[in-house]
Amino acid sequence: MSEDRKKVAQRFEERLAKLEALRHEKPARWQLFHLHNALNALHSDHSAADLHLDEFDRHELEREYPELEADHVPTVDELRSRFAIIAAGMI
């Protein structure tokens, strides 16, 4: 196993242990989602798995440091507005 793959596998194991320790608090859906995607990619593409783990970590950091929020999650109204603009341009 390459060193990079070993590092990603270790990162994955650390995050999994963290969720296992919080099992009684029921992990958030996004935590399970990112860890699941990382596991799916781990065997065939450790770089993709590493990116999923980055997403897992990014959510944690955003909770501690809101000013680091990289991606603004739009509201339903913002999505509707953007869709209306795009749909109007398609007609």
Write the pLDDT tens digit of every residue in 23-54. Answer: 778 778 888 888 999 999 988 898 999 998 98
Q: How far is 52 from 8, CA to CA, in rounded Å? A: 10
Q: Give the pTM.
A: 0.64
Are 59 and 38 spatial neighbours (Cβ–Cβ below 8 Å)? no
Are 35 and 12 spatial neighbours (Cβ–Cβ below 8 Å)? yes
Are 19 and 35 spatial neighbours (Cβ–Cβ below 8 Å)? yes
Residue 8 burial (CB < 10 Å; 0-12/13-18/19+)? buried
Write the pLDDT tens digit of every residue in 74-86. Answer: 678 888 988 888 8
The rounded mean pLDDT for the chain is 83
